[in-house]
Amino acid sequence: MFKKAVEAKSQQRLSGADRKKLKRSIKDKFPRASDSDLDALLPPKAEVTVAKFQNRVLVYVVEGGFPVFFDVDGRGSDIFPTVFALWMVPELLPAFMLKGGEVSRYVIGGADLMFPGISVPPEGLPSFAAGETWAVKVPGNPAPIAVGSTTMSSAEALKAGLRGKALRITHYYRDFLWESVEGRYVPNAGFLEDVVYEDPSLFPPAHDSAPNEVSCETSIDHQNNTKGGEAEESLDVNELQTDSGPALTTPKDGENDTANEITTGVADLELPDTGSANDTTDQLSASDVDSLLDKCLLQALHTTVKDKDLPLPGSTLWSNHVLPCRPSGMTLDIKKSSYKKLSKWLQAKASSGLVSVKEDKYKKEFMLLSVNRNHADYKSFKPEKRPVEKSDQSSAHSANETSSSKTLEVAEIYKPSVHVNSIFSSVGADIGKLYTASEASDIVFKYVEKENLVKPTDKSIVVLDAILCDALFKGAIKKGTAYPSQIHKKDIGSTFVSRMQPHHVVTRGNESVVRKGAVKTIQILTERRQGNKKVTKLSGMETYLIDAEALSSELQKKFACSTTIAELPGKKGHEVLVQGGVIDDLARHLIEHYGVPKRFIEVYDKTKR
């Protein structure tokens, strides 16, 4: 529905009668919605604007807030809530639960939801009819990531063996409707750029729990359980603009926990504020906050921001690096500084020569491109030697240094294929070398610059010559379909990388292994045997250079239970079987002791009813 950018033809305020009609339609369409839910989504005293698009879709926007509903055919019979509405009222719709966070990559990449990607509860799927409106959620995260219509009934699904398409997705996180909102945000720290995982704030830190009472927490790095994140900007003028009005504020504590979770917004969005009983920021002047901001930035540049991670979105820099470096017991609110906005602060740091930034015109966000580590401020700053929390986005490159002497690094790399060899050869690049996604994207943009393929009348469009067109689309276009003549700059990098051969490199200490294909996950499964007896199976550890025998012996001592090793049938590798339901502790041990990133661990508990 919103896979491509579509401009609004017109917008107008709803009359009182139309507003009541909309509210009645929503009440009839979504019986789960209480009166308080409807008031939260359509505040009684706030104006509601309807934007009409060229594809006949109507989008309803709360004045000074976000789009909350959209009408597919413009007739009032097919209304859906937006993800912004679902983040305010997460239980507005019934939801399909994905098998894991990795499956979300496909959904927010624009694919429909297939039955094999759904986690079926022990009691089976609930009853539903074809054409019903359902949401999509990720395990461990209460905020939905998409909404759509069921393609068949539950009876038909069972008859088909739970195969085929379950949900025709009409709107999802990171589609053009979400992108078009100036003050767009995410509901919690589990929402990353290309995937959604569990919300880290819902899982207590390991040191707060006794060994036998830990819940499965597959994250070595945590956000600071930040709350808030009000979006005060109106929507884009050319797309979903509403008349200026008061900012849409998130519900108070207790009214909607999901809406209060950490917000990692874009350039000019009000940034997360983490209050505490010992908060002293209110007593600081603007210049004091400026100084605190600079110290946190320098601490982050010294400790967590690595050159290999650049370019880095400004919102990611803020939430994953700057915020965790603030002093304990203090909030860090950029609105209390003299800059007021993240974009202005980053531009100021760029003007001083400390960093270089560039605005992504498409995403409307400033990107951190490089760090000047020879800058006087950087060289004179002495970073504090204290543990610094980082988000999951950097966990793929780091392990918990306090518990493992051998740091694990996992990197996805790509090898030129026959499709793209001509591009590499044209710019003098080695076709036998392995490249990161960023390096590969640089190659194709070097070719674009060399051949002067940027469209003169629209700098965001690349005109395809024969060589580039073949590299990107030859063999991928159906017979009888015309090849495209141009491509948007935002798509060229990912399309080019998708035409290369995926590899991955795993490094632990001085040992490094390069393998073909995508990174395989570690599988942890707990099931019942002989009545109430539980066993936990672990496989896939060899990918991360973990010896099965050494791990088995270690787990036997750690959990005071028997362990056995068996070869996997028909596969390379081993399976470690641990007596007892230690699924939670085992996942945490792999993260904290071996540094395995949480997104590479899949946990299945078959004992839960």
Write down which residue in 185, 214, 247 finishes a domain. 247
**Per the domain annotation, does 434 fall within a domain?**
yes
**Structure-token pair, residue 211:** 């060994």
For residues 341 and 333, give the distance between their C-alpha atoms in angstroms, rounded to a whole number.
10
pLDDT band at 270 (very low <50, low <70, confident <90, very high): very low
Provide the CB-side half-sphere exposure for 381 (13 A, CA): 21
Q: Could you tell me the CATH number of the domain that includes residue 478?
A: 1.10.245.10
Residues 368 and 319 in one domain: yes
Question: What is the domain extent for residue 310?
Answer: 264-397
**Per the domain annotation, does 514 fall within a domain?**
no
Residues 4 and 34 in one domain: yes
What is the structure's pLDDT at 98? 95
DSSP-assigned letter for residue 588: H
pLDDT, tens digit (0-9, with 9 covering 90-100), for 419-465: 999 999 999 999 988 999 889 999 999 999 999 999 999 888 999 99
**Per the domain annotation, does 227 fall within a domain?**
no
Q: Could you tell me the CATH number of the domain that includes residue 176?
A: 3.10.400.20
**Per the domain annotation, does 505 fall within a domain?**
no
- What's the mean pLDDT in 340-366? 81
* Percent of the chain topping pLDDT 90: 28
Q: Could you tell me the CATH number of the domain that includes residue 537?
A: 3.30.780.10
What is the structure's pLDDT at 245? 35
Q: Please say whether the beta carbons of 555 and 547 come within 8 A.
A: no
Residues 315 and 435 in one domain: no
- What's the mean pLDDT in 136-145? 94
**Per the domain annotation, does 423 fall within a domain?**
yes
**Per the domain annotation, does 214 fall within a domain?**
no
Residues 384 and 485 in one domain: no
Residues 276 and 374 in one domain: yes
Q: Measured between alpha carbons, how far is residue 237 from residues 7, 67, 191 in Å?
A: 10, 14, 26
Verdict on whether the full-model pTM lies above 0.85: no
Omega before residue 311 within 30° of 0, cis: yes
pLDDT, tens digit (0-9, with 9 covering 90-100), for 552-580: 888 888 888 888 888 887 667 888 999 88
**Structure-token pair, residue 152:** 């068949």
Residues 392 and 311 in one domain: yes
Asked if the model's pLDDT at residue 146 lies above 90, the reply is yes
Residues 372 and 474 in one domain: no
**Per the domain annotation, does 213 fall within a domain?**
no
What is the structure's pLDDT at 272? 37
Residues 354 and 421 in one domain: no
Asked if the model's pLDDT at residue 78 lies above 90, the reply is no
What is the structure's pLDDT at 519? 87
**Per the domain annotation, does 363 fall within a domain?**
yes
What is the structure's pLDDT at 90? 92
For residues 85 and 69, give the distance between their C-alpha atoms in angstroms, rounded to a whole number.
7
For residues 308 and 364, give the distance between their C-alpha atoms in angstroms, rounded to a whole number.
23
What is the structure's pLDDT at 340? 82
Residues 70 and 187 in one domain: yes
Residues 293 and 238 in one domain: no
Residue 169, beta-bridge partner list: 148
**Structure-token pair, residue 342:** 């993240």
Number of domains in the chain: 4
Write down which residue in 499, 531, 554 finishes a domain. 499
Residues 150 and 283 in one domain: no
Residues 447 and 561 in one domain: no
**Structure-token pair, residue 399:** 């392990």
